[in-house]
Amino acid sequence: MTDESWVDYWDQTLDQVSKQESWTPEKYNEETFNCYTFVLVFARCLHYSDMSAHAISREQFCSHYVTPKTVTACKYICLYRKIQDGGFYVNHEYDDHVGMNLLDHHHS
């Protein structure tokens, strides 16, 4: 699929999902039927590889897409703060959990 056809498909799918009768103010519920629900339905309707498969539940989608990005962002924020505090940051330990070292030492 070309970039242009993907954008068209995305727009068509978004239009179809948004026109479903499910999305009314009366059916909205702050905790159980909200914007996140819409995103999950839209992601499933895209039929796009694993993303659509993981959109089957809030938990699955979050664990595969939201949490990893949040953890990465947290690591960069911690690194930024260390550099802001000291002008530089030296990580004395190198292992597969380099980012976790940042988190472990941030509050010390």
61 and 49, same structural domain? Answer: no
More confident residue, 5 or 87: 5
Which secondary structure element, helix H or strand E, spans residue 84, and what is its range? helix 67-86
pLDDT tens per residue across span 14-68: 999 999 999 999 999 999 999 999 999 999 999 998 999 999 999 999 999 999 9
Which of residues 38, 55, 72 is at a domain's end? 55
Q: In the predicted model, is pLDDT for residue 108 greater than 50?
A: no
10 and 40, same structural domain? Answer: yes
3 and 17, same structural domain? Answer: yes
85 and 49, same structural domain? Answer: no
Instruction: Single out the residue of 67, 78, 69 nearest to residue 100, CA to CA.
Output: 78
Q: What's the pLDDT at 37? A: 97
Task: Give the domain range for residue 100.
Answer: 57-108
**Global pTM exceeds 0.95:** no
83 and 43, same structural domain? Answer: no
68 and 88, same structural domain? Answer: yes
Q: In the predicted model, is pLDDT for residue 4 greater than 70?
A: yes
64 and 45, same structural domain? Answer: no
Residue 38 tokens read as 């819409």
